[in-house]
Amino acid sequence: MPVVQNLDVRLLAETPDALSLIYAAFRQCYHAGFVGDMWPKLLSGEISQDKQAEFIEKVMQSGHDSPIEHVSFTFAISGVSRALTHQLVRHRIASYSQQSQRYVDAGGFGYIMPPAIAGIPEAKEVFESFMAHAEETYGKLQELLAHRGKKSNEDARFVLPNAAGSKIVVTMNCRSLIHFFELRCCMRAQWEIRALADLMLKECRMALPVVFAVAGAKCERLRYCPENAAFTCGKYPLLGQ
């Protein structure tokens, strides 16, 4: 029953011709003609990508960002806990496909150990003891429910901890991703999901910099902390200070 050491985030897919698609969507809002006729020019390079990016950046700076919803990114994620995925799936404008504890045998499950626990020998010992007990209990329940065949997993899983490792595929559109990054890249976000958000943001910035260059914690864009004095991390001044 190993400690899961490595968070792994891989960008599986993104909407093809993402830059041109966003440009076309933005242009249709302000263009008297039909962007369907413009599309071949975008793909051929007749309207350069630099020009497309410049237009997108300018319009987004005005606060108009709904057209970026037409582009989405799909990530494969492993090395995360069930505690993290319970937070992740609360971002509702997204699609999720998670490894099932009902159908996948969790015997010998890997688990995530919080750094704060790992750094205190006594806490680490208590934590590891509980993980071993959870694994043992899971196995005993599987044996007692063996007459149910593979269905034994669906009831034995009730004793699995939030620390149990999981794998998940996530698809979000660009607007949802920006909102996700604003909340989860913040220093007040829980450490595990913040690490995930940072890696996802890195992939997005490489794939579509015009949209994600200034994405991240909300304070990075605003240059002030939107929290109140009781919750600020102190990295940026509060509004009005």
Give catalytic residue positions: 184
Number of Cβ within a 10 Å radius of residue 227: 17
Backbone dihedral region for residue 215 (phi beyond 0: left; psi -120 to 50: alpha; all else: beta): beta
Phi, psi of 217 (to 5 degrees): -55, 140
Nearest by Cα to 35 from 70, 60, 74: 70
Token pair of 228 as six digits: 């109140």
Sort strands 165-173 and 94-98 into parallel, antiparallel or unpaired: antiparallel
